[in-house]
């Protein structure tokens, strides 16, 4: 292995798999493809596109990413079970030599006793069988001993040794429940390098969760002790408290190269755009004080800090905003911009729309340009996001009027269209948003319960687009929706209507699905690395 290779850390992005498991962060097919394209522009080494056996939707998403995204390795997750491995192989097949199957099996004592009810010997046997089966389909096989950080080091070494002998090309050491602390986790990676024969011939990854807020610290401790792959997500999305944040790990190694002496292949100037895209498409807001990509990351309020920064930026900035793609929100288009300029700019942003979608997006752009003096990249992303809503709308918003004030009972009048039918109603509520949503319920004859409501300004200025993200419960099912407008009440109504449409289409699909197919399509629920 060359010195350059020894110092190179592989970035394995699992935003589309583990990141999407974050409650409320689910994405449709089109949204996953847009994120995957941005990951390719970001130049991640590996994209874990999903868990193919989990559902038909997951399979289709992994297959589409493998088929359409060029550059990165495309991985599909699988348990050490034949049905999982076969399904993963089918999903990543379009990627050809860039296809990877990532198999996993729990190894900790608590998992062996309570979940698997298997002895150590059985665990090793199943792990080896899983790797050998995956090798029949692809040459690139990754193995993860789930809950590795709570597995006895001696047994963990035995498992790693066995799967390497079976043909695994990458061994990933997950801190599945975020239990590890940096000193201990780094020492564990060092222990494996000392006690596992052949480990220098494979790539050692780490996959850290953030339950104690230590995912990035644990990942950095691991690479300091010999790991050469970090599994991470944009904005740190993931189950429970999330995963190692891609932007934080990458910029920590870049900024403190004097300490780590490690490099990645990441094009850091694409980080901010990637972060914003994921935030908008999932509806998961980035906290203002989030490192690297938060709104306050490069803001200086203290007079002393401002004075120092003006004199010499390095006094209070250890990174340049431009290093992560933050160059200030610049005007890109105006109301007099033509269709060609609009289409060309969307192409530069990385979006691919059909002719019909482009026409609809341009109409939305013209409508927005009449309301706003300045149109920014984030405005365009919001417009395109509206074209990605899956499935097609059942109801569309035709008219909205609200009456509200300190001495007025908030009232909303809403007119919806369904095919050629126009329906109108009105209702009162605790506020204009509540009144609008109640009116939609009356028209659609549904009863949704609002579980979560968040609002953020997409761009700067008093005329900024407001993006509303909702979580709505219909019966026992939670559906996410989002929409944007310069009018936040309209944005809330459109986001809620998005949830209503998804619920209706899901109901229709369920009614038309035979019972056997329903059972087959049931989503697999299983702990994952």
What would the mean pLDDT of 392-412 be, rounded to a whole number? 92
Domain count, the chain: 3
Token pair 């020894």 is at which residue?
A: 6
177 and 62 housed in the same domain: yes
327, part of any domain:
no
329, part of any domain:
no
Place 99 in a pLDDT band, splitting at 50, 70 and 90: very high
pLDDT, the chain, mean: 88
44, part of any domain:
yes
Query: Cα separation of 47 and 65, whole Å?
Result: 9
Q: Render pLDDT for 258-304 as a digit per residue (tens, 0 to 9).
A: 999 999 999 999 999 899 889 878 878 888 899 999 988 876 444 54
pLDDT-wise least confident of 15-24, 188-197, 412-421: 15-24
pLDDT of residue 517: 38
Q: What is the 3-state secondary structure (H, E, C) of 205-224?
A: EEEEECCCCCHHHHHHHHHH
What would the mean pLDDT of 395-409 be, rounded to a whole number? 94
What would the mean pLDDT of 147-170 be, rounded to a whole number? 98
**Six-digit token string for 12:** 């394995």
254 and 112 housed in the same domain: yes
Phi (first) and psi of residue 395, to 5 degrees: -110, 145
The sign of the dihedral angle between the CA atoms of 57, 63, 67, 70 is: positive
Threshold 0.95, pTM exceeds: no
pLDDT of residue 519: 38
Range of the domain at 346: 339-387
Place 481 in a pLDDT band, splitting at 50, 70 and 90: confident
pLDDT of residue 480: 82
33, part of any domain:
yes
What would the mean pLDDT of 217-236 be, rounded to a whole number? 98
Query: Cα separation of 210 and 189, whole Å?
Result: 18
522 pLDDT more than 50: no
Q: Render pLDDT for 129-149 as a digit per residue (tens, 0 to 9).
A: 999 999 999 999 999 999 999
Query: The CATH number of the domain where 46 resides is what?
Result: 3.20.20.70
pLDDT of residue 370: 84
34, part of any domain:
yes
277 and 372 housed in the same domain: no
126 and 258 housed in the same domain: yes
pLDDT of residue 244: 98
Query: The CATH number of the domain where 473 resides is what?
Result: 3.30.160.270
DSSP of 130-196? HHHHHHTT-SEEEEEEETGGGS-HHHHHHHHHHHHHHT-SEEEEEETTS---HHHHHHHHHHHHHH-
254 pLDDT more than 60: yes
449, part of any domain:
yes
pLDDT of residue 212: 98
Q: Render pLDDT for 305-347 as a digit per residue (tens, 0 to 9).
A: 445 555 566 676 788 889 998 875 455 677 777 888 888 888 7
- Percent of the chain whose pLDDT exceeds 70: 89
513 pLDDT more than 60: no
35 and 163 housed in the same domain: yes
379 and 462 housed in the same domain: no
144, part of any domain:
yes
40 and 138 housed in the same domain: yes
Residue finishing a domain among 331, 357, 387? 387
274 and 184 housed in the same domain: yes
Query: Cα separation of 26 and 35, whole Å?
Result: 12
Residue finishing a domain among 324, 353, 387? 387
User: Nearest Cα to 148, choosing from 184, 117, 114?
Assistant: 184
353 and 433 housed in the same domain: no
433 and 481 housed in the same domain: yes
Q: Which residue has the higher pLDDT, 346 or 52?
A: 52
pLDDT of residue 38: 95
Q: Which residue has the higher pLDDT, 189 or 366?
A: 189
86, part of any domain:
yes
81 and 43 housed in the same domain: yes
């Amino acid at each position: 292995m060359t010195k350059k290779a020894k110092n190179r850390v592989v970035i394995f992005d699992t935003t589309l798999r583990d990141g999407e498991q974050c409650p409320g962060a689910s994405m449709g097919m089109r949204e996953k493809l847009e994120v995957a394209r941005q990951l390719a522009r970001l130049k991640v080494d590996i994209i874990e596109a999903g868990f193919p056996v989990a559902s038909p939707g997951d399979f289709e998403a992994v297959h589409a990413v493998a088929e359409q995204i060029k550059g990165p390795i495309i991985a599909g997750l699988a348990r050490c079970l034949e049905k999982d491995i076969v399904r993963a192989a089918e999903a990543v097949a379009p990627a050809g030599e860039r296809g990877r199957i990532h198999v996993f099996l729990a190894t900790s004592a608590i998992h062996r006793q309570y979940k698997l009810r298997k002895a150590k010997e059985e665990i090793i046997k199943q792990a080896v069988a899983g790797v050998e089966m995956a090798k029949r389909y692809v040459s690139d096989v990754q193995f993860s001993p789930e809950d590795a950080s709570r597995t006895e080091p001696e047994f963990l070494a035995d498992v790693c040794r066995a799967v390497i002998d079976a043909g695994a090309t990458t061994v990933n050491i997950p801190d599945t429940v975020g239990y590890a602390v940096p000193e201990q986790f780094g020492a564990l990676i060092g222990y494996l390098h000392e006690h596992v024969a052949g480990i220098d011939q494979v790539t050692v990854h780490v996959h850290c969760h953030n339950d104690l807020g230590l995912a990035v610290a644990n990942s950095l401790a691991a690479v300091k002790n010999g790991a050469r792959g970090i599994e991470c997500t944009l904005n740190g999305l993931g189950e429970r408290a999330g995963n190692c944040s891609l932007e934080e790990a990458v910029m920590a190694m870049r900024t403190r190269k004097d300490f780590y002496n490690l490099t990645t292949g990441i094009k850091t100037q694409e980080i901010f755009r990637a972060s914003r895209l994921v935030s908008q498409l999932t509806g998961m807001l980035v906290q203002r004080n989030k490192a690297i990509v938060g709104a306050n990351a490069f803001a200086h309020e203290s007079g002393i800090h401002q004075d120092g920064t003006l004199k010499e930026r390095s006094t209070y900035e250890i990174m340049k905003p431009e290093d992560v793609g933050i160059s200030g929100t610049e005007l890109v288009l105006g109301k007099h911009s033509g269709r060609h300029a609009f289409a060309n700019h969307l192409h530069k942003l990385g979006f691919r729309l059909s002719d019909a979608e482009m026409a609809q997006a341009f109409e939305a752009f013209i409508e927005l340009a009449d309301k706003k003096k300045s149109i920014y990249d984030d405005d365009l992303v919001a417009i395109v996001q509206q074209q990605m809503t899956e499935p097609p709308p059942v109801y569309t918003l035709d008219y909205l009027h609200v009456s509200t004030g300190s001495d007025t009972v908030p009232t909303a009048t809403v007119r919806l269209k369904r095919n050629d039918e126009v329906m109108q109603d009105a209702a009162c509520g605790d506020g204009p948003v509540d009144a609008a949503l109640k009116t939609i319920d009356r028209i659609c004859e549904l009863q949704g319960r609002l579980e979560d409501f968040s609002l953020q300004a997409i761009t700067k200025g008093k005329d900024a687009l407001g993006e509303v993200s909702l979580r709505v419960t219909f019966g026992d099912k939670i559906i996410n929706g989002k929409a944007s407008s310069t009018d936040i009440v309209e944005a809330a109504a459109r986001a809620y209507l998005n949830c209503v449409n998804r619920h209706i289409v899901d109901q229709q699909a369920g009614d038309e699905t035979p019972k056997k197919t329903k059972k087959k399509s049931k989503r697999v629920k299983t702990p994952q690395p």
